Amino acid sequence: GLAVIYLSGYIHLAGFFLTASKDLGAHELMLKALKLGVAPFILFDLLKIILILGFTQLVSEKK
């Protein structure tokens, strides 16, 4: 599920960069979209996943 969200945001941002700046090459455009649209969110999403897994483990141990 999270990969679909990242991929759709990446494609949308790459499309925006393509229309906004015609002087970027394909490699630069894809790298810029990855750096600005995906990379900043990976760490926080991994932390949320770890917290959720820990919480579900605590809840399942109480039963």
pLDDT in tens, 9-57: 999 999 999 888 878 888 999 999 999 999 999 999 999 999 999 999 9
Residue 25, pLDDT score: 87
State both tokens at 26: 């394909």
The pLDDT confidence band at residue 61, using thresholds 50, 70 and 90, is confident
* pTM attached to this predicted model: 0.71
**In the chain, what are the domain boundaries?**
2-62
Q: What's the chain look like in SS3?
A: CHHHHHHHHHHHHHHHHHHHCCCCCHHHHHHHHHHHHCHHHHHHHHHHHHHHHHHHHHHHHHC
Residue 41, pLDDT score: 93
* Distance (Å, whole) CA 12 – CA 27: 16
pLDDT at 63 over 80: no
